Structure 1
Amino acid sequence: MDFATNPSDGTRIAFQIVGSGPPLLLVHGSLLTHTIWRTFGYVKALRPSRTLILLDMRGHGRSDKPHEVEAYAMDTIVGDLIAVLDAAGVTKADYWGYSYGGRAGLTLTAAAPDRISRLVVGGGSHGPQRGAFDRLFFPRCADVLAERGMDGFIEEWNRHRLFPVDAATRAVFSANDSDAMAAYFRASDAEPGLADDALTHFDVPSLFYVGSEDSTRLADSRRAAELVPGAEFHLIDGFDHSTTPAAGAEVLRVVEPFLASPRGTGPFFE
């Protein structure tokens, strides 16, 4: 792994570059790492034709894990993404993010549209996030993380699920720093999001997708796609928020043609 440093607070962001071709920044969701893109076949499918920039968001994976709530403000997250692009020597890239990664991509596009050539958002929302994690997991989930750690969080989550947490998800979640995740959850809860008007001014080709059973993000994703001029919107039939990333073949079927369609000219690399 290589590391980029956010100049605003010195936090180091781990990233890896694989493949060849036009650059594509892949950004994972909450409590996961860059390995999710490998696990479900995205890297294998995309690396022959794209230079993939895979990163671990702050607080996740091999990146630094600050414990302060203010360290996870969205403008700071945008600074992380720009720092990774700079460290990779990339002036402009396609962007693909899921959930947390999608939300960060929307904010990055609003803040630095010159760095983004195409935008793909899966299961994302541009609106306020208050209560989002409590709805996704269970009430007071940030408090449980802070008080009982990741094991306590998973135990409580199991009590609110129809089916037990599978072994693979348990392993990935258990590797997280519970204090960092509690800080991140609380920062997200206070996040105001982007105004609708910001999305109406996007001028990059954009695609939104969401699981048809994703009760937490279906309406938000549809609304965002309606606001962005010319955006595509796709339903991934039969999947919810947590299972849509595993639908690699179904997701790639709608995203790959979009990424391969005619695009603006570079330069893309410094």
Structure 2
Amino acid sequence: MPPGARDRVLVPVDPLGADGAVQVAADVTGTGPTVLLLAGQSLGPETATGTAADLAGAFRVVVVHTRGTGGSTGGPGPGGWTTATFAADAVAVLDALGVARAHVHGFSMGGRVAQVLAARFPDRVDRLVLGASGPGGAHEVRCEADVARTLRHAASPAGRQGLADLFFTPGWSARHPGTAARFAPTGSPSVRRAHHGASTGHDGWDLLPRIAARTLVVHGGDDRLTPPANGRLLAGRVPGAELVVLDGARHGYPAQFRARTAELLRAFLG
């Protein structure tokens, strides 16, 4: 598939959701080794637009629509969702595309999902990138109280602006309002609650030493949403992992620091 061309697949997955059968969507573009992109909590697939475009010249890029976002269908059941749920969905997408092994880039909550994927399905992951993520559980370095308040009200207009300031420097988001808007929460209230439960319920501490894939950890040096100490924890816990801290970057480094991110990914995955 030539760069810029895009195909969408819909993959049936189990179990059934509260709103009926669940289908996980994925957008596929480019040709070459497969790179799977996993988005953050309550974020739609459009957050990966820049990264996908930058990689599609050398890779087959697969952007997974996390349950409840984008073109995926079905809502959370009574038990909600977990990062293991989303990791199994990613494997189902790879199976549907006939991909035995792929590079995986997980951003924010997607990084938590990627931890589960790499630890539990080691034969499916070639190289692993954990971006703006953390280990979860008791070892996670928590955000400050004012950041937590912003997250609780992220769906309100004031909360959306506060969230944008956590992702990007104010001057940058003002100059790039369209890109900044892609990183606003999406999905119904029940979906946002289920995503929050999956992310906060994650504990990857015992999984991280089991990751055999060559791993790159990327973190913004000014990330208040997921403090950069979490990146250092991941890099110290995953055997042989490399760590890159982007000075001046907040949580949304893949967009604001797009050129640098593309450079890092092409060098690491190439």
Fold equivalence (TM over 0.5):
yes
Distance in 2 between residues matched to 1:27 and 1:136, nearest whole Å:
27
Which residue pairs with 2:158 in the alignment? 155
The answer for unaligned runs of 5 or more in structure 1 is 261-270
Q: Which runs of 4+ in 1 moved over 4 A?
A: 129-137, 159-167
CA drift at 1:250: 1.1
Displacement after TM superposition at 1:182 (Å): 2.2
Structure-2 separation of matches of 1:26 and 1:252: 13
TM-fit CA distance, 1:242: 3.0
Distance 1:120 1:187, change over 3 A: closer
Is 1:184 aligned to 2:195, yes or no?
yes
- Contact 2:132–2:220 (CA under 8 A) maintained in structure 1: yes
* 1: CA distance, partners of 2:141 / 2:197: 10
Can you list the C-alpha shifts for 1:2-53, whole angstroms capped at 9, x where unaligned? Answer: 1112233342111111111111111121232222222x3x223211211111
* Counterpart selection for 2:242 from 232, 238, 242: 232
TM-score normalized with structure 2 length: 0.80
Determine if contact 2:29/2:56 at 8 Å carries over to the other structure: yes
Work out whether residues 26 and 95 of structure 1, in 8 Å CA contact, stay in contact via their aligned partners in 2: yes
TM-score by length of 1: 0.80
Taking the aligned partners of 1:258 and 1:136, their CA distance within structure 2 comes to: 35
1:23 corresponds to 2:34? yes
> 1:39-118 residue pairs with structure 2 within 5 A?
40=50, 42-68=51-77, 70-118=79-127
Aligned CA distance change for structure 1 residues 136 and 192 (closer, same or farther; 3 Å) = farther
Separation in 2, partners of 1:258, 1:243:
17
Question: How many equivalent residue pairs?
Answer: 249
Residues 252, 243 of structure 1: CA spacing in aligned structure 2 closer, same or farther, 3 A cutoff?
Answer: closer
Identity, % of aligned pairs? 25
Structure-1 residue corresponding to 2:4: none
Output the amino acid matched with 1:233. L
The 1:205–1:172 alpha-carbon spacing in structure 2 relative to 1, beyond 3 Å, is closer
1:127-162 Cα deviation digits (max 9, x unpaired):
2289968858543845x57xxxx3x3x334546869
Q: 1:59 to 1:172 in 2, by over 3 A?
A: same
The root-mean-square deviation of aligned C-alpha atoms, in Å, is 2.9
Instruction: Give distance in 2, aligned partners of 1:67 and 1:8.
Output: 10
User: Does the CA-based 8 Å contact 1:127-1:193 persist in structure 2?
Assistant: yes
Q: Which amino acid aligns with 2:261?
A: V
Amino acid at match of 1:4: V
More strand by share: 2
Secondary structure of 2:14's partner?
coil
* SS of aligned partner of 2:27: strand
Kindly indicate whether the alpha-carbon contact (under 8 Å) linking 1:65 and 1:177 is maintained by their aligned counterparts in 2: no
Residues 1:12 and 1:71: Cα distance change in structure 2 (over 3 Å): farther
Instruction: Determine the structure 2 residue equivalent to 1:211.
Output: 220
CA distance in 1, matches of 2:182, 2:240: 40
Cα distance between partner residues in 1 of 2:85 and 2:237: 25
Gaps (5+ residues) in structure 2? 1-7
In structure 2, the residue matched to 1:6 is 13
C-alpha deviation, 1:244, in angstroms:
4.4
SS across alignment from 2:37 = strand
- Contact 1:69–1:187 (CA under 8 A) maintained in structure 2: no
Distance (whole Å) between structure 1 residues aligned to residue 111 and residue 162 of structure 2:
28
